[in-house]
Amino acid sequence: MTRRHESPAEHAVPGRFAGQTVIVTGSTRGIGAGVAERFAAEGANVVVSGRTAAAGEAVAERISESNRGADEQRADDAPLTGDATFVRADMRDPDDVAALVEAAAERYDSVDVLVNNAGVQTETTAAEATLDDWSFVLETDFRAYWLAARAALEHMDRGAIVNVSSNHAYATMPAHFPYNAVKAGINGMTRSLAVDFGPQIRVNTVVPGWVEVERTRDELPKGRLEEVESIHPTGRIGTVADVAGAVSFLASEDAAFVTGSALLVDGGRGAVMQDDTLPDYRARERSE
């Protein structure tokens, strides 16, 4: 199978978020950067955030340059893409979380969408994990989601929050604690926020499965990526663009009646009960 490496902006809906402000936490690389790119391509002013200033500023500049080029190619003078700026924030620090939201509101006069994406993990079992591991993961991947949502609520007349979870919320592997427990908790938090923030704010979760980002490529030994792809009904693992499209949908008016939900974006992997009963989906597609 030919693996897709499309830009997250490739299937963008022009003007979908025109004039809106979107905060994407943990967006200096990977899924977060792709989500920021997608929203900016759809007209939003995007606040990129993370702990590393050089990486975050590079993402914001790349988005801005790309969008300037796209708008220059248009026949009329009305830009359909948005601006991007970087605000440094360590999501473990409650003051940084509050300052991030304030900076977004001050720069763009509103906050319309919050994407909680920042995340870390430790390669520890439940027996091995320390209190420091626990604090590191929960403060970044869980507490920060709540703090950012609460801060954003003060600036949102109407809008949407999209929390990024993981398929570890449903099924997991050894030595992923407390990351896997937190991801299940995020789905529960989404339901709580949807009930408490409605009807003003819709809150949903995107639950990615295997996604080809730098960390995935680095962690898989040679040949293992092809093996993993072969056990997905789609015949491949996900791309950043796949996740970005799902996030954009849940934040848009196309999902106006969707709140408190968790959207599994995993290429059908969650539908599989037992690997040894599967065909090689990559080989099947090549033969058709």
Mean pLDDT across 219-241: 89
pLDDT at 72: 59
Tell me which of 13 and 6 has the higher pLDDT. 13
Assigned domain for 266 exists: yes
Measured in degrees and rounded to the nearest 5, phi and psi for residue 236 equal: -160, 165
Helix (H) or strand (E) holding 58: helix 53-72
Q: What is the pLDDT of residues 189-214, one digit of tens each?
A: 999 999 999 999 999 999 999 998 87
Number of separate domains in the chain: 1
- Name, in order, each residue with C-beta under 8 angstroms of 52's C-beta and a sequence gap of 6 or more: 28
- Residue in the structure block whose two tokens are 């906050």: 111
If you search the block for the tokens 């995020």, which residue do you land on?
186
- For residues 54 and 188, what is the distance between their CA atoms, to the nearest angstrom? 34
CA–CA gap between residue 206 and residue 104 (Å, rounded): 23
**Strands (E) located in the chain:** 21-24, 45-50, 84-88, 113-116, 159-164, 201-208, 262-265
Residue 2 located in a structural domain:
no
CATH assignment of the domain containing 278: 3.40.50.720
Residue at 50 is within a domain:
yes
The residues that are catalytic are 179
Q: Which domain holds residue 68?
A: 21-287
Task: Tell me the pLDDT tens digit for each residue of 122-181.
Answer: 999 999 999 999 999 999 999 999 999 999 999 999 999 999 999 999 999 999 999 999
Instruction: pLDDT band for 224, please (50, 70, 90 cuts).
Output: confident
In a domain, 120, yes or no: yes
What residues does 161 pair with on adjacent strands?
114, 203
